[in-house]
């Protein structure tokens, strides 16, 4: 402070400093617009085409919301003077920038966490082996523990917390070594730093599905496309490595207000590239006709018709003597049920109209006529015919036994009396003698 307790006069920001601020907002907004378009296309594909919005999509939406919140914090920090030299920023604006930086740190950690969890849940969609699923679940658990640690350490990096923006050192407190926590210089090899841990997990998540993708039974061209799509996360990993270097410059800078532009710029690039790259695999139904056809077939699903009901109806109709769907039957045919069902998405009225009328119901079989019993009186050499009632429930007469080998084939017995048999000589007695046991083998009774 100048003599007399008055604050030093503020310098006028240069055009280069203003250009850095504009660059920060423009690039951040452009990358946010890119991730917004990618996420919107992803949700359209999942909701309207695939009809399968899952946990991975909700995590990605939350990551996008954190990215939008990050953009708002950057715009707010620029209004306070973020990107300008400290000599051009008022004292109260410096405090506001430091508070804004605390919010940005928390938002960044949760944005990266949500994006990585979305990618891992997306891996579980095509996880075919138990080992791959276990690796994904363990990675989720590690990331969940890591986000809890980062949140606690970030909110407790200074005790009390207002020591973080106490530029006049009026509050007694202490703060952790933020350089060791965020970066990990050579003097702090015992702790990898949050940025180094994020890079390691980025590489791990990118390489996690390589073995599963290589085992997919698809043409080499499609396999190569899958590797390219899932490998686009390398761009986000590269942005994270560049951000790591900017963090080192920021934590050791003598003018952190001016050097905060690069770290926030690359943080926004990393987050939005990760959102866009993680959404690209979900866009295949939008650009591939074959994928849309397969998706529509999958949406229709297997037939929901209960074929076991057909067997039940058939067995019950067999017992009752009626045909399902016929007049007089209380059961409706499966064809009529399928046509009249409101769940049938295709109109079958024209098919039903062109069908022939159903067959008439089966009529009960008529009773067999009475048996004709022919009696032969050998004394008078005459015959008489009587008709008797059929015996209910009796089995039909057995068929005649097959002729023995060498015997002449049996001749059919005529229905008129033996004494009037044409083609035979000697009357009924001679006819009977020629065919031993003839009449009784043909259902006649000789008296």
Instruction: Among 174-188, 206-220, 279-293, 302-316, name the most confident range.
Output: 206-220
Taking the whole predicted model, whether its pTM rises above 0.75 is answered as no
CA distance 313 to 333: 8
170-179, 206-215, 388-397: lowest mean pLDDT where? 388-397
Residue 246 has phi, psi (to 5 degrees) of: -70, -30
Instruction: Among 148-157, 292-301, 359-368, name the most confident range.
Output: 148-157
Domain ranges of the chain: 16-298, 323-357, 371-388+405-441
Helix (H) or strand (E) holding 372: strand 371-377
Q: What is the pLDDT of residues 101-147, one digit of tens each?
A: 999 999 999 999 999 999 999 999 888 889 999 999 999 999 999 99
pLDDT at 1 over 80: no
CB 36 within 8 A of CB 276: no
Pick the CATH number of 16-298 from 1.20.1070, 1.10.3470, 1.10.3210, 1.50.10: 1.20.1070
> In which region does residue 361 sit, left (phi positive, over 0), alpha (psi from -120 to 50) or beta (all else)?
beta
Residue 364 or 354, more confident = 364
Q: What is the pLDDT of residues 236-253, one digit of tens each?
A: 889 988 988 888 888 788
pLDDT at 382 over 60: no
Question: Could you give the 3-state DSSP secondary structure of residue 384?
Answer: strand
Question: Could you give the 3-state DSSP secondary structure of residue 174?
Answer: strand
CA distance 373 to 439: 11
CB 256 within 8 A of CB 269: no
Question: Which pLDDT does position 319 carry in this prediction?
Answer: 43
Place of tokens 């024209």: 350
Kindly report the average pLDDT of the chain as a whole number. Answer: 74
Question: Which pLDDT does position 298 carry in this prediction?
Answer: 52
């Amino acid at each position: 402070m100048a003599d007399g307790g008055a604050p030093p006069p503020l310098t006028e920001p240069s055009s280069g400093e203003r250009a850095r601020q504009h660059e920060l907002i423009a690039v951040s907004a452009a990358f946010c617009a890119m991730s917004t378009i990618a996420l919107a296309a992803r949700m359209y594909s999942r909701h309207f085409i695939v009809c399968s919005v899952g946990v991975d999509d909700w995590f990605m939406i939350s990551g996008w919301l954190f990215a939008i919140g990050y953009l708002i914090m950057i715009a707010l920090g620029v209004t306070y003077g973020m990107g300008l030299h400290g000599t051009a920023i008022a004292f109260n604006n410096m405090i506001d920038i430091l508070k804004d930086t605390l919010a940005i740190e928390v938002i960044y950690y949760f944005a990266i966490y949500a994006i990585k969890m979305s990618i891992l849940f997306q891996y579980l969609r095509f996880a075919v082996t138990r080992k791959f699923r276990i690796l994904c679940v363990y990675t989720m658990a590690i990331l969940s523990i890591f986000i809890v640690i980062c949140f606690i350490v970030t909110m407790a990096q200074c005790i009390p917390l207002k020591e973080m923006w106490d530029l006049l050192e009026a509050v007694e407190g202490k703060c952790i070594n933020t350089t060791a926590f965020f970066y990990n210089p050579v003097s702090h090899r015992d702790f990898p730093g949050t940025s180094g841990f994020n890079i390691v997990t980025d590489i791990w998540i990118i390489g996690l599905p390589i073995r599963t993708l290589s085992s997919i039974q698809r043409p080499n061209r499609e396999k190569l496309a899958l590797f390219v799509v899932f490998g686009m996360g390398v761009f986000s990993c590269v942005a994270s490595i560049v951000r790591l270097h900017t963090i080192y410059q920021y934590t050791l800078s003598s003018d952190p207000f001016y050097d905060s532009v690069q770290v926030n710029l690359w943080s926004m690039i990393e987050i939005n590239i990760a959102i866009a790259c993680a959404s690209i695999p979900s866009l295949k139904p939008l650009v591939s006709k074959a994928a849309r056809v397969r998706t529509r077939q999958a949406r229709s699903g297997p037939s929901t018709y209960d074929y076991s009901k057909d067997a039940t109806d058939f067995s019950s109709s067999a017992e009752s003597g009626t045909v399902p769907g016929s007049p007089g039957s209380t059961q409706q045919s499966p064809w009529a049920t399928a046509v009249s069902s409101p769940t049938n998405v295709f109109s079958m009225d024209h098919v039903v109209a062109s069908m022939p009328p159903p067959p008439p119901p089966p009529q009960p079989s008529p009773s067999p006529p009475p048996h004709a019993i022919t009696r032969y009186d050998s004394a008078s050499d005459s015959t008489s015919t009587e008709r008797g009632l059929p015996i209910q429930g009796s089995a039909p007469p057995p068929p005649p036994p097959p002729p023995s080998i060498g015997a002449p084939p049996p001749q059919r017995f005529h229905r008129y009396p033996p004494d009037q048999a044409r083609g035979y000589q000697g009357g009924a007695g001679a006819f009977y003698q020629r065919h031993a046991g003839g009449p009784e083998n043909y259902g006649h009774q000789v008296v």
